[in-house]
Amino acid sequence: MLKKSINIAMAFVGVVVGAGFASGQEALQFFVAFGPWGILGAALTGITFGITGMIVLRFGSYFLANEHTAVFNKVSHPIVARVIDYGIMATLFAVGFVMFAGAGANLEQQFGLPTWIGALIMLVLVIATGFLDIDKVSTVIGAATPVIAVFLIMAMVIAVRQAPSDLGNLQPYAEQVQTGLPNWWISSLNYLGFNVIVAASMSIVIGGSHHDTRAAGWGGLIGGILFGFLLVGLVVSLWVALPVVGEQDMPTLALVNEANPVLGNLMAVVIFMMIYNTAIGMFYSMSRRMTVDKPARFRTVYVAMCLVGFVLSFVGFKALVSVLYPLLGYVGLILIVALLSAYARGRSRITAEIERRETIRELLVRKLHPRAVFTKRHERKLRAEVAASPASDTQLEESIASEVTQELIDDGHLELEQIEPADQIPRDLVGKG
């Protein structure tokens, strides 16, 4: 379970660590602008984001959801669900085209390229990746996360080593940072809301691709804590380097360039990867939602939304972050309240479902293992447990049976020629259709 949880955590972090975060622009406007109090705000955001991440991913896994309304329509009032749905859709699209703007700003600052070139390269990459299935998309997002973390830690070390001896002189620089938020604690709450609403849709899709609800929840918690660690480190780094980075579109990039231009070039590539990560998550999950009733139209809608976002991205990266992100953060706070309320009401049912799926898994191991005994009593028990689950019968069984079969093959207990035809596993187990 630990390996699975870590993989989920990497994908989860990859969704939220995008252009605004990696560039340092979010950290600058939401936290560094408030000086040392902003560091405390970043720590509180990290802790609470881990808790909300656990809840979001657990809900996605609990319902085996393939888009966010599959969760919100079931756990909140219809009016609240509709508001959340519209808010998430607006967020996905807004952050998506901000990523295109970030790609352009990144390559312009580091290599002097026109902003449209970076945005166009990102557009091509995002469209190409959107033609993959969700497991491959999650793998792409998660694979870049360790690289991202290493480079952010490197930037933090550089900043701390070059920190001035008198930190008291940094306050005037902090006061010059433009922010649309009144104080550190409102900014902390707002940033939490922003990240939850940014991550919610794709995180539900990621959680929905895993039947192990416990592993999904741990993945969200681990990912949230890792994000908090990176956030606090980034805020401290930019705080001590304010004289150098305060006026830059990409403060983190400026910080690394100050230490070593070669490392700066590598950092520009890493930031581009982060932008890519988040852009995929935004446009993929938005298009899945828009085509939930007509999945055959997914690719057409996906490409169309990417093209529209590309055009809108030319407003400018810093301006988009300063205006759009705080507005989205307040909408995100409504989402957090709805999630916490629903989780408090349904926690016992989620716990029961975790145990139920473990039972289903044990019974499927017995059924599919060539040397195990699987009686009619076991089959009745399996059908009853599957029928009691809130998830789709066929989807749940296919997910668990596929994992069990692969494990039996890997352990040498099962040969490929022993596997029953796909239409017999697990359709003959379906209890209620």
The pLDDT tens digits of the residues spanning 388-429 come to 998 877 888 888 888 888 888 877 766 655 555 443 444 444
Domains, the chain, ordered by start: 2-346 (1.10.4160.10), 369-429 (no CATH)
Say if residue 419 is exposed, middle or buried (CB neighbours under 10 Å; 0-12, 13-18, 19+). Answer: middle
The pLDDT tens digits of the residues spanning 170-191 come to 888 888 887 878 899 999 999 9
User: 204: which residues sit within 8 A by CB, 6+ positions away?
Assistant: 56, 57, 59, 60, 65, 67, 68, 70, 71, 285
User: Does 382 score more than 50 pLDDT?
Assistant: yes
Separation between Cα atoms, residue 204 and residue 202, nearest integer Å: 5
User: Does 352 score more than 90 pLDDT?
Assistant: yes
pLDDT of residue 183: 92
Mean pLDDT, residues 260-289 taken together: 83
The pLDDT tens digits of the residues spanning 187-204 come to 999 999 988 988 888 789
Separation between Cα atoms, residue 430 and residue 392, nearest integer Å: 10
Q: For a pLDDT cut of 90, what percent of the chain falls above it?
A: 30
The pLDDT tens digits of the residues spanning 305-350 come to 999 999 988 877 777 777 788 888 988 998 899 899 999 999 999 9
Separation between Cα atoms, residue 256 and residue 266, nearest integer Å: 9
The pLDDT tens digits of the residues spanning 367-379 come to 888 888 999 999 9
Closest CA to 284 of 395, 205, 384, 398: 205
The pLDDT tens digits of the residues spanning 227-246 come to 999 899 889 988 888 888 87
pLDDT of residue 134: 57
Closest CA to 39 of 186, 230, 177, 232: 232
Decide: 52 and 339 in contact? Cβ < 8 Å: yes
Decide: 406 and 384 in contact? Cβ < 8 Å: no
Separation between Cα atoms, residue 196 and residue 106, nearest integer Å: 25
pLDDT of residue 247: 78
The CB density around residue 423, as the number of other CB atoms within 10 Å, is 8
Mean pLDDT, residues 38-54 taken together: 94
Say if residue 212 is exposed, middle or buried (CB neighbours under 10 Å; 0-12, 13-18, 19+). Answer: buried
